[in-house]
Structure 1
Amino acid sequence: MLDAIVMGGGPAGAVCASVLARQGRSVLVLERQEFPRFHIGESMLPYMVGLLERHGLLDAVREQGYVVKRGGEFIDPTGTKFFRAGVFRADFAKTGDGRHHETFQVERSHFDRVNLDQARAAGATVREGAQVVGLLEEGGRVVGVRYREGGVEREERARYVVDATGRAGVVANRFGLRRMIEDLRMVAVFHHRDGLDEAHNPGHEGDIQVGSHADGWIWAIPLSADRISVGTVMHRDRLRGRTPAEAFAEHVERVPRINQRLTGTTATSDFWVETDYSYHSDQVTGPGWVMVGDAGCFGDPMFSGGVLVGMATGAEAAEALGRALDSPADEEQALTGYSNFFKTGYDTYVRLIFSFYEGELLPALAEAHSEAGDLSEADMEMYVVRLLGGDFWSARNPVANALRANPAWSTFSPFEPVHRCPVYPELDVAELGGLAGAVGR
């Protein structure tokens, strides 16, 4: 019997398999597609670099030559959605000493291949083109999977099954656990363009641009020296009666800084459309199984946090399963701790998204500043940039705490938060005056 089967070889599943394999566990990864394959979610956060470093994956990613991202540009003509009217640049150099001040823009087909290869190198067995078709259950516990590979159906048993199947949600669908986040039922229309010349960029080379307008927002993410990903996100009713191409063109025209950056570019793909993609599961662990990443929750690509939270939960799940494998009597405690960690990160991230769509980010910032009292404007900007960079677990961030105080934005049923940063735990403890108990369990 295997120690773990990981269903899905995307970032969350790959890092989970890597960490487990480096513990010396027997791990099988079943990925239904053959890599490389297209996936959205190309812009990384700076906390991702710290996470990759902690788990021995940074060198493999850094040597790929991805576009370096040192900040994000947020465009808001009205000043009601972001931090000030006009343009706010989140400069990652302002996150403070000891933290990484840059990250990457990637093509996910390539980035995901690199991470899956790292799982192989760590000792995990990886089978691509292996479609999970069911779970094996005994006495109310998941004990393995049925999968189809090369037209042949097989079974494999394990002490734990990790669901990293993203939107497919194998476990969520089996047990009826997935719930839509009704207020975030959006649609995205996007494609890639060649011919990018950053001489036309009115901002900083390598930055993501996020532009707000009355009906939604636009992203622009440079993927290489001459390629860029561009998309528009809107409520579903804004697309009715129009083709994706019509909605895209009209929305991009509303954000002149992004339109300027696209000067001379031409589309290299048809439009992709993603709909109704915001959901969560209140239960993310169970007898013999855990969910990681998008399998358990997905909010919105607004602040580019999906891959970070997915990989952080994948790594944390591996650590929790390692404790349970070593001491089966501690399984409940390990899985409960993991569940609370998962929910803390996703809840904070989804609250950040809600604050944008409901125009409450500025009021939250004002409340944080008032509560903090003795913090300077520079300190407050530091915490804003940290939050935008992936600071979703810390109890130290007053902006995150202001978002957590709004009961209307709760994603999950009540749970016990785990305020332990998975990227910079030592710095987090130090900033809290060494009170380790205050930063979680």
Structure 2
Amino acid sequence: MNKIEQVDVVIIGAGPSGSSAAALLRKKGYVVTIIEKQYFPRFSIGESLLPQCMVFLEEAGLLDAVREHVQAYAFQFKNGAAFLCGHKRSHYNFTEKFTEGPGTTWQVRRADFDNLLAQQAQAYGADIRFGHEVIAVNVDVQQPLLTVLDEHQQQYQIQAKFLLDASGFGRILPKLLDLESPSDFPVRRALFTHIEDGINDQADFDREKILITVHEKDRRAWYWLIPFADGRASFGVVAEQDFFDHYHVQDATQNEPEALLKRILADDPSLSKLLAQAKFDTPVRTLVGYSANVKHLAGSNYALLGNAGEFLDPVFSSGVTIALKSSSLAVPLLDRVLQGGHVDWMQAYEMPLRKGINVFRAYVESWYEGEFQDVVFSSNQNESIRRMISSLLAGYAWDDQNPIHKNAKRRLGTLAEYCREGLAQEQALEI
């Protein structure tokens, strides 16, 4: 094995958290190497960004690169979220929110979006090694030591003053360091693809909003429809396995992912009418048991970013927001460490990051339990409550000035009760 390379920071993974962290570190002059197993561009879901992302992209110097490619990559302007369940409809405009900050963003093909961020990180001087795989890590030494397999299947070692894991669903450090902790969410399955949606201009559909459709027969199940600007869309369904079992038939060929997804789509009259002209021209993929957690998010010489630490659920599109927030929080602390200072990573990183994650978690739990669905589809919402909810849906989960931020789960339950009864909602926030 060749001589051990020495750098300031090694980042595992070139997705949004890895590329944004690299860009932020390069702004401070550090030598950064990213080890990325795949080659970009590569397919990924999580295409509906939240407005909070814009703050973090601008901070990392990545926003202009995205803006410059909006038309070329058919990124769709996004200003809110729409909800559908049978004949019930609701929507939230993110510009009408409680929290200060951007109220619009884009819906993006992640292959193009992630590649743009990685290219910009490279332009800032980050060394990204595509097709390289981390196969071993030693963090018991003062400076983490990684063993890497390159694209020619040759091993080499690289040592850093600090290590960031931005490997997403690959979860490299959680697996190698035995950090994984079971999620307390039920095991759910996502079935998804990209389609030519065939939605005409006369349809009752707003391309500037993600559409979340609740299955009328099982409110634990929901569909996403994320339109792009060129007539294509990301489409998928999420549910527990018993929901999918209900749609299985004796003919095994009809249980293949595409046939199964089409059969589930056909069971929703409103959505199937909207997508009556859709063309399924991309392989349908599946992801099972995606929710994950870890014992802790950082050690003395490493930290976990984004989905490498915790992934909740795709229902409110929080993944990229949490990824970018984690980089924004971690890099100033890492800078302090590299300058010889001390950081209490639990107090300064994990606890602040988890505050927002836990707010998202409360919304996810309340969604599947049906309480937040009752709030969303209620006709009894007043404007102040709508603005508070809109802020959370827009990704501002770390705004502790928002009245429904504190004790989010309990307050959502109370709001749901008041929405069902049609009572004054302000009273719910005083409980």
**TM-score when scaled to structure 1?**
0.83
Tell me, yes or no, if structure 1 residue 72 matches structure 2 residue 74: no
Q: Secondary structure at the match of 1:2?
A: strand
2:402 paired residue number? 397
Amino acid across the alignment from 2:355: T
The reply to whether residue 273 of structure 1 matches residue 282 of structure 2 is no
1:306 corresponding residue in structure 2: 319
Residues 1:39 and 2:48 aligned together: no
Distance in 1 (CA, whole Å) between partners of 2:375 and 2:199 is 37
Q: Counterparts of 2:268 and 2:392 in 1: how far apart (Å)?
A: 25
Please give the alpha-carbon distance, in whole angstroms, between the structure 2 residues aligned to 1:31 and 1:92: 34
| 2:204 counterpart letter in structure 1 | P
- Residue 283 in 1 paired to residue 304 in 2? no
Residues 234, 381 of structure 1: alpha-carbon distance in 2 compared, 3 angstrom cutoff: same
Among 328, 335, 358, the alignment partner of 1:315 is: 328
Q: Distance between the aligned counterparts of 2:223 and 2:239, measured in 1?
A: 9
Is the contact between residue 75 and residue 209 of structure 1 (CA under 8 Å) also seen in structure 2? yes
The residue that corresponds to 1:336 in the other structure is: 347
Shift of 1:180: 2.9
Partner of residue 237, structure 1: 242
Distance in 2, matches of 1:101 and 1:206, equals 12
Given that 2:78 and 2:208 are in contact with CA atoms closer than 8 Å, whether structure 1 keeps it comes out as yes
Q: Which amino acid aligns with 1:298?
A: F
1:421-432 maps to which residues of 2 (within 5 A)?
Answer: none
How many angstroms does 1:46 deviate by? 1.3
| CA spacing shift, 1:303–1:127, aligned 2, 3 Å | same
Provide the C-alpha distance between the structure 2 equivalents of 1:9 and 1:304, rounded to a whole number of angstroms: 19
Q: Deviations over 1:217-261 (max 9, x none)?
A: 001111232211110111022223452334422332344443233
Local SS of the residue matching 2:135: strand
Q: Indicate how the Cα distance of structure 1 residues 172 and 87 shifts in structure 2: closer, same or farther if over 3 A, else same.
A: same
Structure 1 pair 134/180, CA: closer, same or farther in 2 (3 Å)?
same
Whether the 8 Å contact between 1:187 and 1:234 is mirrored in structure 2 is yes
Structure 2: which amino acid aligns with 1:88?
S
Q: Any residues of structure 2 matched to 1:3-402 within 5 Å, and which?
A: 3-65=8-70, 66-77=75-86, 86-95=88-97, 98-139=100-141, 141=142, 143-149=144-150, 150-194=152-196, 196-213=198-215, 214-215=217-218, 216-240=221-245, 241=248, 243=255, 244-328=257-341, 330-331=342-343, 333-334=344-345, 336-361=347-372, 377-402=382-407
1:218 and 1:251 in contact (8 A); partners too: no
Q: Aligned Cα RMSD in Å?
A: 2.4
Contact kept, 8 Å, 1:5 with 1:144, in 2: the verdict is no
What do residues 291-333 of structure 1 show as CA deviations (whole Å, max 9, x unaligned)? 00000000110011111111110222112111111133x13x2
* CA deviation map 1:353-409 (0-9, x unaligned): 1010011226889xxx9xxxxxx921111111110000111111222324255899x
The match for 1:439 is: none
Larger deviation, residues 394-403 vs 250-259: 250-259
How far apart in 2 are the matches of 1:404 and 1:325? 38
TM-fit CA distance, 1:290: 0.3
Letter of the structure 2 residue corresponding to residue 199 of structure 1: D
Q: Deviations over 1:83-139 (max 9, x none)?
A: xx8111111120258522211011100000001111111221111111111103444
Q: TM-score, normalised by structure 2?
A: 0.85
Change over 3 Å in CA distance of 1:252–1:363 after alignment to 2: closer
8 Å CA contact 2:98, 2:402 repeated in 1: no
Q: Single out whichever of 218-227 and 245-254 deviates more from structure 2.
A: 245-254
Counterpart amino acid of residue 164 in structure 1: A
Q: Structure 1 residues 58, 395: closer, same or farther in 2, change over 3 A?
A: same
**Residues 97/387 of structure 1: CA separation in 2 closer, same or farther (3 Å cut):** closer
Question: 2: distance between equivalents of 1:407 and 1:2?
Answer: 47
Give the Cα separation in 1 of the matches to 2:27 and 2:66.
18
Letter in 2 for 1:324: V
Seq. identity, %:
26
Q: 1:248 is matched by which residue type in structure 2?
A: L
Corresponding letter in the other structure for 1:31: E
2:405 maps to amino acid: A
How far residue 32 of structure 1 moved from its aligned partner, in angstroms, is 0.5
Check the 8 A contact 2:298/2:345 in 1, yes or no.
no
SS at structure 2 position matched to 1:219? strand
Which ranges of structure 2 fall in alignment gaps of 5 or more residues? 1-5, 250-254, 414-431
Distance 1:255 1:202, change over 3 A: farther
Deviations 1:203-227 (A, max 9, x none): 3223210000133000111123221
SS of the aligned residue for 1:29 comes to strand
Q: What is the identity, as a one-letter code, of the residue corresponding to 1:273?
A: T
What amino acid does structure 2 have at the position aligned with 1:59? D
Distance 2:48 2:27 in 1: 27
SS at match of 1:52: helix
- Stretch of structure 1 that moved more, 166-175 or 287-296: 166-175
Cα distance in 2, alignment partners of residues 364 and 194 from structure 1: 32
- Letter of the 1:393 counterpart: W
Residue 178 of structure 1: how far off its partner (Å): 1.5
